[in-house]
Amino acid sequence: MNILNDSYKLNTGATIPKIGFGTWQIPNGDEAYSSTLFALRSGYRHIDTARVYGNEESVGKAIRDSGIDRRDIFLTTKLPADIKTYNGTLETFETSIKTLGVDYVDLYLIHAPWPWSDRGGDYTEGNIQAWKAMEEIYKSGRAKAVGVSNFNVKDMQAILDNGTITPAANQIRFFIGSTQNEVTEFCQEKGILIEAYSPLATGRILDNPEVKKLADKYEKTVAQICIRYTLQRGTVTLPKSTHEEYILQNADVNFVIDEQDMNYLNGLRDIDPQS
């Protein structure tokens, strides 16, 4: 069984592959193009990018050159976090669509509830305006689903209170030792899928002795344990690599971490001091 064929169902009724290929920090050009193309030709059918990653052009070209029917690829991109107006959202979406060279995306996300330069700031009204535009994009059919990223419970509630469409997903930092339980439980109660970005804590978890010990028990890599953990927690997982060996390994997670070991991993803390 190929786990790359496994999917969840969004609240729109659409399906989303459980494992996505993340492209954060992969620069536009040959690196983004080659790694995305290799992932697609290796069986990945879910590609995650963002306007601010700067690589939409190369990601879109890889999708077109893959020879895979566009309908069989789940593509996500994101509205930059500093765009907090209705018109700005519509205009930026058009830019992304044009740069990607596609007619539609499968999921369009507000990248964060605040600009990265003012992390934690209150931009509730701007998020409401952006969400109204996201709803229009969804209704047009050019985004098959819309959602958010990095939103906490307060930010999510503002969208639910002022919008007419429930976000399909909330993409958050989620990995062993940092699972944002409050927002995760809130989203699960509302039927909003959690997407786990940085499931390897951007690599800082790979030398963790506790997780390494468990990886040895299952005869898997630390990365594979981390990815499998996020899957068993019911999230979409978005590992990223530019190395072909690791792109393949990251999808080789068709095993089960037993309940006792999951409980152990759930209890780990302070794995990533930056979380």
> How confident is the model at residue 167, as a pLDDT?
98
Non-local CB neighbours of 248 within 8 Å, separated by 6+ positions: 42
Q: Which candidate in 8, 33, 44, 53 is catalytic? A: 53
Return the H-helix or E-strand segment holding 193.
strand 193-197
CATH number for the domain whose boundaries are 3-267? 3.20.20.100
Judge whether 8 counts as a catalytic residue: no
Q: Render 95-115 in DSSP notation, one character per residue.
A: HHHHHHT-S-BSEEEE--SS-
> How confident is the model at residue 1, as a pLDDT?
61
Walk along the chain (275 residues) in steps of 10 and give the mean pLDDT of each run. Answer: 92 98 97 98 98 98 98 98 98 98 98 97 98 98 98 98 98 96 97 97 89 97 98 97 97 97 92 53
> How confident is the model at residue 272, as a pLDDT?
57
- Residue 107 near residue 76 (C-beta atoms within 8 A): yes
Report residue 63 as tokens.
Answer: 């999708």
- Residue 36 near residue 65 (C-beta atoms within 8 A): no
> How confident is the model at residue 275, as a pLDDT?
44
> How confident is the model at residue 203, as a pLDDT?
84
> How confident is the model at residue 269, as a pLDDT?
81
Torsion of CA 181, 185, 187, 190, to 10 degrees: -170
Whole-prediction pTM value?
Answer: 0.96
Torsion of CA 91, 94, 150, 225, to 10 degrees: -170
Q: What is the DSSP letter of 175?
A: B
